[in-house]
Amino acid sequence: MNKDFGRRLVLCVFSVLITTTVAAAPKYISSPSLDKVINTPVGKVQSGQEVNVPIITWGADIRTIYANGNSSSTTSNSIFGKLGLKLKLQRVDVFRQQVEDYLSGKSPYLRGTLGMINMAAEVTSRDGRTKPIIIYQLSESAGGDALVVKPGIRRTKDLRGKTIALQAYGPHVDYLAQVLADAGLGMADVNLKWLPDLTGSDNTPMAAFYEKDIDAAMVIIPDALALTSGGNVGTGSEDSVRGARILLSTKTANKVIADVYAVRADYFDQHRDEVQKFVHGLMKAQEKVHAVSKNKNSAEFRDMMQAGAGLLLDSKQAVSDTEALYADADHVGYKGNIKFFTDKHYPRNFDRRNNSIQRAFKSIGLVARNTPLQHAGWNYPKLRAGLAATSGPEQPRFHQDKVNKVVTTRQQQGRLDEGALISFEVYFKPNQKSFTPDHYSKEFDRVIELASTYGGAVITVEGHSDPLGYLRKKKTGANSIVLRQITQSAKNLSYTRAAEVRDSIINYAKSKQVILDTSQFALVGHGISAPKNGLCGSDPCAPKNENEWRANMRVEFRLIQIEAESEVFKPL
């Protein structure tokens, strides 16, 4: 199996590959820029009965295979066949090879992540004929990719100055860039070590992670599980690294890695109707595969997974592993493509992601200049024909009561900081009861951005109160009953403030035509139990000046990873 882009290689082959992974010190590459290593002459797209279309080892590509009739060549009664298409699906996991095939004319299509298409944009845009037109989003990674770290790194901001191993030309570069940016860091704030392969060789991020000078690595989930003793904390036995843990996976950061198809500009101009049929067929397949997957005992589901296993994993017997690949993807269909490409209010839309990706790549010399990417600009109402897509509201992602239980337990145990990736605070004035965007738009915008990017994380909204009233009463000799009443009143007030802030954010987002998932937010009322200036014994320390006094009147936001508590997620 090719290893440059098979980022979601499965557990059945992983144990075999480990022996080679740790056998020798990895060989790093100095230049991760495709512009410096690809000089393939541009050729005319090859004509023939079948059009070559690349697929990769990823769950969303099962839909492409299904649309083709569970076959590498289009069958007449398949979704693509009924649309009059004749395609030849070829697994090309090595992205550099894909780009070379695309330039030479062997295939008019590119299949990669949005970050990878951006990485190749300078190369593919040298000639107007091969300028990429993004035509379709297949999926978002929702669990297949992870950032593994060594001891001492508890939050993403702790990555400053650390050395991180990742694959060049691969799917994790923009993932890392996004994670760093959300922690207030840039790619230049870390040391990057580039590897040629992603998994299954001596030259991978996982292999590099065993080296003493590597602090973190961007890896696929099977590699992450091995390094961390099954996703816990590495014990140092077998293939794990002592103290290693998964800091963040795409189950939490589920709107970071977008998988897409692009097509050459000259082919798009000459064969627009054919390309549109290809996109329409993928939309039909998304709905059909989703329906088929609801009955895993059906012959149709078995045939689909066997075909996927054969084409993606070289073995029709690898059905369970193919199902795992499918589960790691958040499958995007008709509505999702409209949102991604046309919704200017959506924080994770096509234009915004391209801009942030190119800024990050340019900051480390991965690209020399910004290269604007274009999408197809489809007439989506026309593509709606024959689809069952509805415009209903998105369903809550979390079980709210279970989220509250997890957060409450952590609060009682003093573990709310556990799994917190990002935190920040907003401050209020004495007796303030309302929190309007007029004063908090910057903070509210940040919450909206984080909620949209990390859809698998819980965002706690934690209210804190000024302890001065309690301290004054205690100093004058108030009894324990009065002090308990003051403490409870402060807790209630801080919870109410947290609720007001959450509601203000949700309403503010709605005014910007962004719908947030209310179930993602958990309210906490700390009262006076966690003052900014600390505790003196069991009581809050008295503020020494006005700044310390005002610092206690705050609402804190925490982005908390709760992947281990899988019961808090609602099944799709």
Domain co-membership, 413 together with 544: yes
Q: Does 99 map to a domain?
A: yes
Question: Do residues 284 and 306 share a domain?
Answer: yes
pLDDT tens per residue, range 559-572: 998 876 666 666 54
366-407 tens-digit pLDDT: 888 889 899 999 999 999 999 987 656 677 888 888 888 889
d(CA 110, CA 124): 10
Which of 474, 475, 420 is CA-nearest to residue 450?
Answer: 420
Q: What residue type is 51 in one-letter code?
A: V
pLDDT of residue 298: 96
Dist. CA 562–CA 543, nearest whole Å: 34
The answer to the question of residue 275 being in a domain is yes
Pair 249, 147: CB distance under 8 Å? yes
| Residue 237, C-beta contacts closer than 8 angstroms, at least 6 positions apart | 229
Burial class (CB in 10 A: 0-12, 13-18, 19+), 179: buried
Look at residues 182, 216, 249 and tell me which one is the last residue of a structural domain: 249
pLDDT given at position 563 = 73
Taking only the tens place, the pLDDT of each residue in 313-360 is 999 999 999 999 999 999 999 999 999 999 999 999 999 999 999 999
pLDDT at 178: 95
Q: At what angle do helices 334-342 and 272-292 cross, to 10 degrees?
A: 130
Helix axis angle, 468-475 to 480-511, nearest 10°? 170
Domain contains 45: yes
Q: Does 536 lie in the same domain as 406?
A: yes
- 149 with 273, same domain? no
Say if 358 falls within a structural domain. yes
**469 and 454, same domain (yes or no):** yes
- List C-alpha distances in Å: 451 to 253, 458, 522, 556: 10, 8, 12, 15
Q: What is the mean pLDDT of residues 67-92?
A: 98
The pLDDT, as a whole number, for residue 14 is: 39
Residues 76 and 186 occupy one common structural domain: no
Convert 332-390 into a string of H (helix), E (strand) and C (coil): CCHHHHHHHHHCCCCCCCHHHHHHHHHHHHHHCCCCCCCCCCEECCCCHHHHCCCCCCC
- The percent of residues above 70 in pLDDT, for the chain, comes to 94
- Shared domain for 309 and 266, answered yes or no, is yes
Among residues 229, 207, 205, the alpha carbon closest in space to that of 147 is found at: 205
Report CA-CA distances (Å) from 401 to 71, 454, 559. Answer: 45, 20, 18
**pLDDT tens profile 473-532:** 999 999 999 999 999 999 999 999 999 999 999 999 999 999 999 999 999 999 999 998
For residue 433, give the CATH number of its domain: 3.30.1330.60
Domain containing 189 equals 145-249
pLDDT for 572 equals 45
Shared-domain flag, residues 518 and 469 = yes
The reply to whether 131 and 162 lie within a common domain is no
The last residue of one of the domains, among 228, 249, 270, is: 249
**Can you give the pLDDT at residue 518?**
93
Cα–Cα distance for residue pair 409/419, rounded to 1 Å:
14
Task: Report the pLDDT averaged over residues 102-126.
Answer: 96
- Determine the pLDDT at residue 200: 84
Is residue 81 assigned to a domain?
Answer: yes
Element (H, E) at 279: helix 272-292
Residue 390 forms part of a structural domain? no
Q: Which residues contact 326 (CB under 8 A, 6 or more apart)?
A: 59, 62, 293, 305, 308
Q: Which of 6, 255, 279 is nearest to 133 (CA)?
A: 279
Residue 87: count of CB within 10 angstroms of its CB: 24
Q: Are residues 374 and 413 in the same domain?
A: no
For residue 2, being part of any structural domain is answered with no
Tell me how many domains the chain contains: 3
pLDDT at 49 over 90: no
Q: What are phi and psi of 217, to 5 degrees?
A: -150, 140
What is the residue-wise DSSP string for 388-407? ----PPPPPSB-HHHHHHHH
Integer Cα distance of 557 and 525 in angstroms: 12
Residue 18 has pLDDT above 50, yes or no: no
Average pLDDT over residues 13-18: 40
Residue 271 covered by a domain = yes
Residues 159 and 135 in one domain: no
Is residue 8 pLDDT above 70, yes or no? no
Are residues 517 and 455 in contact, defined by beta-carbon separation less than 8 angstroms?
yes
DSSP per-residue codes, 178-229: HHHHHTT--GGGSEEEEES-SSSSSSSHHHHHTSTT--EEEEEHHHHHHHTT
Last residue of a domain, one of 222, 249, 276: 249
Residues 244 and 283 in one domain: no
Contact 194, 366 (CB under 8 A): no
**The pLDDT value given to residue 48:** 81
Q: What is the mean pLDDT of the chain?
A: 91
From 144-153, 187-196, 399-408, the region with the lowest mean pLDDT: 399-408
Overall size of the chain counted in residues:
572
- Burial (CB count within 10 angstroms: exposed 0-12, middle 13-18, buried 19+), residue 231: middle
Q: Determine the pLDDT at residue 380.
A: 96
Whether residue 11 has pLDDT greater than 60: no
Question: Can you give the CATH number for the domain in which 194 is found?
Answer: 3.40.190.10
